[in-house]
Amino acid sequence: MLDLRFIRENPDKVRWAIQVKRVGLDLDELLAVDQEVLKLKRQIQTLNEEKNSNSKRMGKATPEERPQIIQRGKEIGDELKALEPRLRETEESLRQLLLLVPNIPDADVPVGLDDTENVEVYRWGNQPIFDFAPLDHVQILENHGWADFKRVADVAGSRSYMLKNEMVILEHALHRFAMDRLMEKGFTLLTAPSMAREFAFEGTGHFPTGKDQVYYLPADDLYLSGTAEVPVNALHSGEILSESELPIKYAAISPSFRREAGSGGRDVRGLIRVHQFTKVEQYILTKNDPEESKRLHETILGNAKEILEALEIPYRVVEVCTGDMGAGKTKMHDIESWVPSEQKYRETHSCSSLGDWQARRTNLRYRDADGKVQFCYTLNNTALATPRFLVPFLENHQQADGSIRVPAALQPSLGGKEKLG
């Protein structure tokens, strides 16, 4: 959400963002509704002033005066009763429109239509050269009895999977590894709930536009979140933090769920795109300072890079262009890990800066050194998400004998094992 005053005063900037982010929103309609809300509020305020002074007179009024006061009060009440529902409706439509207003991308973000126009900015590691016929991750898993896709599909539908034996241990070891790293860096570890109420999804910006990507539990009016970002952002909703406790750095692990509606036949095979996964997410609340936010963006991006480097996975970083970045973001980098079987890089991490866009939605504020109340800035980045991450891990580390090499950094988390299988 953007500041309404900012929208009023900078409609051209907002129009530009709507255009380059390819958001379907009529700003003129929003501005007209905004004026209507202001008009109604003024009318109601004037009536309330009169209502208050009128009923204040009642206390000291003589019995003869009372009928007049009551009469006038009733008239005011009737007028208010006519106006208040109109204000409520108009405010609600304004809110709905406001939820669609995108954040303004930073000036240096590449303008583009979709992911083909993202810009590679960094590359690390060598793509492995195999002196044998490398397998893809599904073949590797099946050869070792490390997963079941077929049976479990009958149980839980397409895009489901079941890891088995050493893969279960590896998955846990990877998460443990990521969490250990982040704890060392001063992050507060959380197990975040996967279920949350609607307001939490509105807070991060996943609602209203992404509602069809989210599982809904009607009996309890709860939704399953696709990232710990949702519950963690909502955690401090409505609070006024003090500047001294910022930045708050959370590393939250949660089972995550995505319906993948509309992704049709894309990536139906294997572990790339599944409905349920486990993710360690970095989530930062910081002060209202673009420079500080930039530094933290680099920090959490760096944390993910370190994890990949320790796990010896070749990757690249792309700067995401305007058309491919979410509405709330001012800046976004994806980290893509090398997938040998596809001979391409695939997104495994996503690092975003959102300015105060999420904080305004969740009413998440802090008191600065001057005592002024400000909205926080928020940022997030994946630390590690499985099972997708198993794809580059298994494929890059496969050996001629079919085993999987365990990078030295991960061996302690795997009971010292140097290879799997």
Partner RNA sequence: GGGGAGGUGCCAGAGAGGUCGAAUGGGGCCGCCUGCUAAGCGGUUAUAGCCUAAUCCGCUAUCGAGGGUUCGAAUCCCUCCCUCUCCGCCA
Q: Which residues are catalytic?
A: 258, 273, 347, 350, 388
Single out the segment in contact with RNA by CB under 7 A; choices: 14-22, 74-82, 227-235, 272-280. 74-82
Residue 55 found at the interface with RNA (CB under 7 A):
yes
Q: Is 38 in the site for RNA (CB under 7 A)?
A: yes
Q: Which of residues 155-184 bind RNA (CB under 7 A)?
A: none
> Whole-angstrom Cα distance, residue 24 to residue 97?
10
Residue closest to 176 by CA, chosen among 278, 296, 301: 278
Shortest distance (Å) from residue 25 CB to RNA? 21
> Per rule CB under 7 A, is residue 409 in the interface with RNA?
no
Element (H, E) at 253: strand 248-257
Using the rule CB under 7 A, is 294 a contact of RNA?
A: no
Residue 70 lies near RNA (rule: CB under 7 A): yes
Site for RNA contains 343 (CB under 7 A): no
Q: Does 241 bind RNA (CB under 7 A)?
A: no
42 belongs to the binding site for RNA (CB under 7 A): yes
Q: Is 53 in the site for RNA (CB under 7 A)?
A: yes
Smallest separation, CB 241 to RNA (Å): 11
Please name which of 362, 349, 356 lies closest in space to residue 379, comparing C-alpha atoms.
Answer: 356
Nearest approach in angstroms of CB 42 to RNA is: 5
**CB nearer RNA, residue 365 or residue 397:** 365
49 binds RNA (CB under 7 A): yes
Q: Which of 13, 39, 88, 164 binds RNA (CB under 7 A)?
A: 88
The count of residues interacting with RNA (CB under 7 A) is 29
CA distances from 167 to 122, 141, 175 (A): 30, 8, 12
Q: Which of 59, 264, 265, 415 binds RNA (CB under 7 A)?
A: 59
Quick one: three-class SS letters along the chain? CCCHHHHHHCHHHHHHHHHHCCCCCCHHHHHHHHHHHHHHHHHHHHHHHHHHHHHHHHHHCCCCCHHHHHHHHHHHHHHHHHHHHHHHHHHHHHHHHHCCCCCCCCCCCCCCCCHHHCEEEEEECCCCCCCCCCCCHHHHHHHHCCEECHHHHHHHCCCCCEECCHHHHHHHHHHHHHHHHHHHCCCEEEECCCEECHHHHHHHCCCCCCHHHCEEECCCCEEECCCCHHHHHHHCCCCEEEHHHCCEEEEEEEEEECCCCCCCCCCCCCCCCCCEEEEEEEEEEECCCHHHHHHHHHHHHHHHHHHHHHCCCCEEEEECCHHHCCCCCCEEEEEEEEEHHHCEEEEEEEEEECCCHHHHHHCCEEECCCCCEEECEEEEEEEEEECCCHHHHHHHCECCCCCEECCHHHHHHHCCCCEEC
Out of 119, 240, 268, 408, the only residue in the binding site for RNA (CB under 7 A) is 240
Choose the stretch contacting RNA; rule: CB under 7 A; options: 9-17, 36-44, 125-133, 171-179.
36-44
237 touches RNA by CB under 7 A: no
Q: Which helix (H) or strand (E) segment is 130 a member of?
A: none
* Rama region for 165: left / alpha / beta (φ>0; ψ in -120 to 50; rest): left
Q: Check residue 68 for interaction with RNA (CB under 7 A).
A: no
- Reference 279, options 299, 258, 310; nearest CA is 258
Closest separation between CB of residue 51 and RNA, Å?
6
Nearer to RNA by Cβ, of 96 and 399: the residue is 96
- Shortest separation between residue 381's beta carbon and RNA, angstroms: 29
Residue closer to RNA, measured from CB, 48 or 263:
48
- Closest separation in Å from C-beta 207 to RNA: 18
- One of 19, 48, 96, 188 touching RNA (CB under 7 A): 48
- Min dist. Cβ of residue 4 to RNA (A): 7
Q: Using the rule CB under 7 A, is 39 a contact of RNA?
A: no
Using the minimum distance from each CB to RNA, give the nearer residue, 75 or 120: 75
Give residue 335's identity as a one-letter amino acid code: I
From 68-76, 166-174, 243-251, 313-321, give the range in contact with RNA by CB under 7 A: 68-76
What residues from 358 to 387 belong to the interface with RNA (CB under 7 A)?
365, 367, 373
Closest distance to RNA from the beta carbon of 371 (Å): 7
Q: Nearer Cβ to RNA, position 367 or 417? A: 367
Query: Which residues sit at the interface with RNA, rule CB under 7 A?
Result: 38, 41-42, 44-45, 48-49, 51-56, 58-59, 69-70, 73-74, 76-77, 81, 84-85, 88, 240, 365, 367, 373
